[in-house]
Amino acid sequence: MDSPLVIERSEHGVSRKSFSPNALKVLYRLKDGGYDAYLVGGCIRDALLGIEPKDFDIVTNATPEQIKKQFRNCRLIGRRFRLAHIVFGREIIEVATMRGHHDAPEDKNQVSQSSEHGQLLRDNVYGSIEEDAERRDFSINALYYSVKDFSIRDFAGGMQAIKNRRIELIGDPETRYREDPVRMLRAIRFATKLDMTIAPETEAPIFDLSSLLGNIPSARLFEECLKLFLNGKAEQNFLLLRKYGLFKELFPALDILLDASPDGDEFQLTKQMFINTDKRINANKKVTPAYIFAILLWYPLQNRCAKLMQQEKQAEYEIFNLAINQILSESAKNIAVPKRFTLGARDIWHIQQRMPRRSGQRPFRLTQQPRFRASYDFLLLRASISGGPLNELADWWTGYIDNDPQVQKQMVQELNSPKNSGNTDHSDKPKKRRRPRKRKPVNSQPEAQNKPTE
């Protein structure tokens, strides 16, 4: 790599005020300890773009063990690549040792290992700042800020890429994607987040290499999904994932249904959910991953229920539970959703099944469920897409929620009155228990009949 372009403090608008005070503490302590240290990556990129930086990553020529000696509040993590986390209460500053090339001489503490597909499994090889810059994924992330002279070092044309608003991989795109297939997801996320376009040479290999995501641990893909769907750009990310063939590696069951009906209810529901999610995120409102995954797996769940109904001779409730278990188990092979979110998705699905049943105290008891509000939002979304009876059901629940207990009671009574009996779900009514028939004892005949005739 050529010598870096050095942008002096007078030539850029990045100020230390843009950075976390704790990140600056780490930089100065490493500098005072005799080590080189730089802020790198996203925080420099965002500061140049006028975006408030949130994550502060530091690289240094100190080894993880040397970093740990400098900070009592340090813990070392990672197997694929050893990192130091400096903990300041709830804020964590990540410090990495500058990475080197894989073919560099290795000692017992430096290990590099790749899979047969070219994916890096172990990456503990240290090097110089020039080598570290070559190992960065995108040119916009190969920018280094020094507290020695407050300059920015640009090793891969990152400043020009920011000016051109282009996402460009450093090095050969196919090789870099094979090293870490998650870079394909990162390219999409950076493009939508920063309102940039993916350079043609960076974009081209994605179509053919999308299947490499199957080699990524499902837990890591869950974290990447959260970054894609909870950053306020979920709709755009969804459309690009579909465009590049990456969505099928994350949600194969839903992707099959989307391909079968490109503009059907499945696509409309998914897209509208992401639009609504973006609105909530951009309004600083909370969104639970349980709701997102409940919707992404809803149509695969319905499809599985329909198939099981033809195969199994069980009650509808039992088939519904069986379908849930199968769908969640199959989905976990691609994305390992934590149990706290799958439990939430289960609750939302079960409440969808219970909402048409509105006799007696059932509506009131349903509104007391912790996941009722998310389930109600889900019902409204389904009604807006499918219409028909769902619209009537959604309107009834909206009226029920918005009224006082006396009106609620009256609504339930009117719904179950004889004149509305044709609109009532009779499966909702409790079935009367039949009294068991009393069986006559075997020897219950009169004694006289058992006597022999004379």
To which residue do tokens 């509208």 refer? 272
Superfamily, domain 1-165: Beta Polymerase, domain 2 (3.30.460.10)
**Average of per-residue pLDDT values in the chain:** 88
Query: pLDDT class for 101, splitting at 50, 70, 90?
Result: confident
Which tens digit of pLDDT belongs to each residue from 296-340? Answer: 999 999 999 999 999 878 888 999 999 999 999 999 999 999 999
The confidence score (pLDDT) of residue 430 equals 43
Rounded alpha-carbon distances, angstroms, from residue 37 to 83, 120, 129, 210, 237: 14, 25, 10, 36, 34
Which tens digit of pLDDT belongs to each residue from 425-452? Answer: 444 444 444 555 666 555 544 444 444 4
Q: Is residue 36 among the annotated active site residues?
A: no
Please classify residue 266 by burial: count the beta carbons closer than 10 Å to its beta carbon, then call 0-12 exposed, 13-18 middle and 19+ buried: buried
* CATH 3.30.460.10 domain range(s) in the chain: 1-165
The confidence score (pLDDT) of residue 158 equals 95
Residue 184 clears pLDDT 70, i.e. is over it: yes
Of the residues 57, 132, 154, 347, only one is catalytic, namely 57
Give the pLDDT mean for 224-233. 97
The least confident of 193-207, 224-238, 278-292, 429-443 is 429-443
The confidence score (pLDDT) of residue 362 equals 95
Cα–Cα dist 50/162, whole Å: 12
Of the residues 55, 208, 259, 395, only one is catalytic, namely 55
Q: What are 34's two structure tokens?
A: 């005799």
Cα–Cα dist 137/146, whole Å: 20
Cα–Cα dist 76/79, whole Å: 10
Contact partners, residue 370, CB within 8 Å, separation at least 6: 347
Rounded alpha-carbon distances, angstroms, from residue 259 to 66, 152, 253, 262, 298: 53, 47, 10, 5, 16
Residue 85 clears pLDDT 70, i.e. is over it: yes
Query: pLDDT class for 454, splitting at 50, 70, 90?
Result: very low
Query: pLDDT class for 78, splitting at 50, 70, 90?
Result: confident
The confidence score (pLDDT) of residue 449 equals 43
Give the pLDDT mean for 402-413. 94
Query: pLDDT class for 171, splitting at 50, 70, 90?
Result: very high
Residue 198 clears pLDDT 80, i.e. is over it: yes
The confidence score (pLDDT) of residue 113 equals 45
Of the residues 46, 123, 132, 137, only one is catalytic, namely 137
CB atoms within 10 A of CB 325: 12
Q: Decide if 308 contacts 282 (C-beta within 8 A).
A: no
Greater model confidence, 3 or 370: 370
> Which of 3-17, 97-111, 162-176: highest mean pLDDT?
162-176
Give the pLDDT mean for 157-168. 96
What's phi and psi for 122, nearest 5 deg?
Answer: -130, 140
Which tens digit of pLDDT belongs to each residue from 34-73? Answer: 999 999 989 999 999 999 998 899 999 999 999 999 999 9
Q: At what angle do helices 265-282 and 372-386 cross, to 10 degrees?
A: 130
Contact partners, residue 301, CB within 8 Å, separation at least 6: 323, 324, 327, 349
Q: What are 140's two structure tokens?
A: 């916009």
Q: Decide if 126 contacts 66 (C-beta within 8 A).
A: no
Greater model confidence, 397 or 449: 397
Cα–Cα dist 352/428, whole Å: 14
The least confident of 137-141, 190-194, 440-444 is 440-444
Residue 416 clears pLDDT 80, i.e. is over it: no
Amino acid at 263: D
* Residue ranges with strand state E in 230-277: none
The least confident of 32-41, 75-84, 404-413 is 75-84
Q: What are 109's two structure tokens?
A: 């503490």
Strands 5-7 and 166-167: unpaired
CA 213 to chain centre: 15
Closest CA to 289 of 345, 249, 232: 345
The confidence score (pLDDT) of residue 68 equals 94
Cα–Cα dist 264/260, whole Å: 9
Q: Is residue 137 among the annotated active site residues?
A: yes
> Which of 8-22, 72-86, 199-213, 303-317: highest mean pLDDT?
199-213
CB atoms within 10 A of CB 25: 14
